[in-house]
Amino acid sequence: MAFRSPDGYTSDIAVFTITSESNGEYKPPKKTLKILLIKRSEHNHEGNHNIEAGKWALPGGFVQPKETAMTAAERKLYEETGIDGLKMKHFGIYDDPERDNRGWIISNAHYVIASEKSLEKRKVSKDASDIQLFSIEEALALDLAFDHRNIIDDALWFIKKDMALTILAKHFLPEEFVLSELQGVLLTVLDDPAISSDAAFFRKAPTLPFLEAVMEDGKPKKSNRYSKTPAQLYRFTDFQPMVSVYNPKLKG
């Protein structure tokens, strides 16, 4: 029996961040989950016509000999966006023989959840004519290259899991914050009534084992930066939550 070998091996990277915009006086900033996309240029760095030219795409490219898929992802992210030093997670392999017109190209998908500040140094590369941050709604409305819409859809599931089961929100908040700031970060990803309902969230959040009220001179430390009435400040503790399928309660 003859076996067919793939025609290429690539890595693609879905880079997400949470941006902040002023939302008016006495209101916490508007938080929005966004994804970094590049616009594929008409010609690649070798001067050849670029497949899927003019379409928006995830950063990525071919894995070179003696590279792993992860090493290639780190290299391509830097080459195409100027960004490095981000911690990536591999989450899937895309091997539909029809996903790429050049042949049977197998792609490894990775995702990153980065701070807005870490993406400030992004820049256009030779293989891209533009680089932008899009809200998820904006990104999925674009004519995306290859099967990148499917990759983004799948990556979002992992982002939701990370936000729900870890203290990922910590990376998008100041060291001391009011509960409305935490709520805003969580709602960029999670559609959960327990979070969107102010009454439910503000009742439950102070009891979470990884949060503690900030004290100053033995008294509750408060802030009125987002409300006329000073609100209690909180911070994350060293507690690391772990969810067990055998015991749904949080364990540390």
Residue-level pLDDT at 190: 96
**Segment 174-182 mean pLDDT:** 95
The per-residue pLDDT for range 37-70, each reduced to its tens digit, is 999 988 766 667 778 889 999 999 999 999 999 9
Distances (CA, A) of 142 to 5, 53, 123, 129, 204: 32, 14, 21, 16, 39
Report the distance separating Cα 94 and Cα 108, nearest Å: 6
The per-residue pLDDT for range 153-167, each reduced to its tens digit, is 999 999 999 999 999
**Res 22 pLDDT > 90:** no
β-bridge pairing 56-57 and 128-135: unpaired
Closest residue by Cα to residue 169 from 181, 156, 154: 181
Residue-level pLDDT at 182: 96
The per-residue pLDDT for range 98-112, each reduced to its tens digit, is 999 999 999 999 999
Q: How many CA atoms lie within 13 A of 72 on its CB side?
A: 19
Buried residues in 108-119 as b, exposed as e (16+ CB within 10 A): bbbbbbbeeebb
**Res 9 pLDDT > 80:** yes
pTM, two decimals, is 0.90
**Res 147 pLDDT > 80:** yes
Residue-level pLDDT at 138: 98
**Segment 82-96 mean pLDDT:** 95
**Segment 201-219 mean pLDDT:** 96
Residue-level pLDDT at 165: 92
What is the longest distance spanned by two Cα atoms in the chain?
78
Which ranges of the chain does DSSP label H, i.e. alpha helix? 69-81, 136-140, 148-165, 179-187, 193-196, 198-204
Report the distance separating Cα 90 and Cα 88, nearest Å: 7
Cβ atoms of residues 164 and 74 within 8 Å: no
Q: What residues have CB less than 8 Å from 18, skipping those under 6 apart?
A: 31, 32, 33, 34, 116, 172, 185, 188
